[in-house]
Amino acid sequence: MFRNVAELVQLAESKNIKISQVMIEQEMEIKEKTYEEVLSQMGQNLDVMERAVAKGLTGVHSFSGLTGGDAVLLQKYIQRGQFLSGEMILDAVSKAVATNEVNAAMGTICATPTAGSAGVVPGTLFALKNKLNPSREQMIEFLFTAGAFGFVVANNASISGAAGGCQAEVGSAAGMAAAAIVEMAGGKPKQSAEAMAITLKNMLGLVCDPVAGLVEVPCVKRNAMGASNAMIAADMALAGITSRIPCDEVIDAMYKIGQNMPTALKETAQGGLAATPTGKELQEKIFGVSLNKNN
């Protein structure tokens, strides 16, 4: 069993297999299941992600009215062809937003690694699908690779906004996605680790400050930026750029930053954007009372 990214990469390199295969083999061993059973279970998660993206792209709105419809706006913008950054990045962003808009509207999603950060991994995966034409099995492998890196973060740091801030949720999700993008694009295990490190380094310190405590503002747009961050970092790693700080040390830094982060900035709706005049106004409008009354 691998305990950190260095061991994960080492396992893949020594056996000359992909990161996804290392994760699949470990899951088979722990759950005493066959290769087909483990793949089929992940396939079900893939189906849920695909349906969530499709539903989000039809335009959904949350009960609070805070979020919804932005995935559609982006898709229409892409179709007009006047975009500045890049079609695939914007496609990934719109599909990440689509997933989180469905989540905010109490639709069905697959937590990757959490519900609040559920858009990043499927957003990038389904944007990549158009460019690389992966098989269904390769798409399932993408999720195992993402899962392998998330597994290390969850066990050595945290994937909870309440414990580590948004860097632990969207930051982890973006790092997981970057590593999986690299593998799908034909990169080496070590390059996946570099992509994860580069991504997470640029998400360090990100606080969890949801308006009214709801998984909507700024969560939906943070998933958008997580997806774009993952794509850029993957490209950088595939170009041969490495992180001066090893991936495991970046994860450790994220953990320690999370421990030092004030509670007001860790999913309590007490600080950051939640504590802005507009944030507080929205909160009172939605719940009828201030959430801060007991604090």
Partner 1 sequence: MKYKSVFDIIGPVMIGPSSSHTAGAARIGKVARSLFGRQPKWITISFYGSFAKTYKGHGTDVAIIGGILDFDTFDERIKSALAIAHQLGINVTFSEEDAVTDHPNTARVKIGDDAGQLELVGISIGGGKIEITELNGFELKLSGNHPAILIAHNDKYGAIAAVANLLAKHQINIGHMEVSRKERGKLALMTIEVDQNIDQSVLDDLSLLPNILQVTKIVD
Q: Considering beta carbons, is residue 182 or 212 the nearer one to partner 1?
A: 212
Alpha carbon distance 122, 102 (integer Å): 13
**CA atoms in the 13 A half-sphere facing the CB of 235:** 10
Q: Considering beta carbons, is residue 148 or 184 the nearer one to partner 1?
A: 148
CA 50 to chain centre: 15
Give residues with Cβ within 8 angstroms of 178, minimum separation 6: 192, 195, 196, 198, 199, 229, 230, 231, 233, 234, 237
Q: Considering beta carbons, is residue 191 or 268 the nearer one to partner 1?
A: 268
Residue 10, interface with partner 1 (CB under 8 A)?
A: no
What string marks each residue from 27 to 66 as x (binds partner 1 by CB under 8 A) or -? x--xx---------xx-xx--x-------------xxx--
Residue 121, interface with partner 1 (CB under 8 A)?
A: yes
Q: Hey, how many other C-beta atoms are within 10 angstroms of the C-beta on 192?
A: 35
Residue in 4, 94, 112, 191 binding partner 1, rule: CB under 8 A: 112
Residue in 115, 204, 253, 273 binding partner 1, rule: CB under 8 A: 115
**Residue 240 beta carbon to partner 1: minimum distance, rounded to whole angstroms:** 28
Residue 202 tokens read as 């640029």
**Residue 294 beta carbon to partner 1: minimum distance, rounded to whole angstroms:** 6
Phi, psi (degrees; rounded to nearest 5) at 61: -135, 145
Residue 30 tokens read as 């722990």
Q: Considering only residues 143-182, where is the footprint of partner 1 by CB under 8 A?
A: 143-144, 146-148, 150-151, 154-155, 158-163, 176
Q: Considering beta carbons, is residue 78 or 105 the nearer one to partner 1?
A: 105
Instruction: Tell me the chain's radius of gyration from C-alpha atoms.
Output: 19
Q: Considering beta carbons, is residue 1 or 84 the nearer one to partner 1?
A: 1
Alpha carbon distance 123, 140 (integer Å): 14
Alpha carbon distance 95, 79 (integer Å): 14
Give residues with Cβ within 8 angstroms of 278, minimum separation 6: none
Say if residues 207 and 266 touch (Cβ distance below 8 Å): yes
Residue 108, interface with partner 1 (CB under 8 A)?
A: yes
Alpha helices in 133-246 (DSSP H): 136-156, 161-164, 166, 172-184, 189-201, 219-238
Q: Considering only residues 210-249, where is the footprint of partner 1 by CB under 8 A?
A: 212-216
Residue 124, interface with partner 1 (CB under 8 A)?
A: no
Q: Considering beta carbons, is residue 35 or 63 the nearer one to partner 1?
A: 63
Residue in 195, 225, 227, 269 binding partner 1, rule: CB under 8 A: 269
Taking CB under 8 A as the binding criterion, the range among 8-16, 75-83, 99-107, 195-203 that sits at the site for partner 1 is 99-107
Positions touching partner 1 (CB under 8 A) are 1, 3, 23, 26-27, 30-31, 41-42, 44-45, 48, 62-64, 102-116, 118, 121, 143-144, 146-148, 150-151, 154-155, 158-163, 176, 212-216, 267-269, 286-287, 291, 294
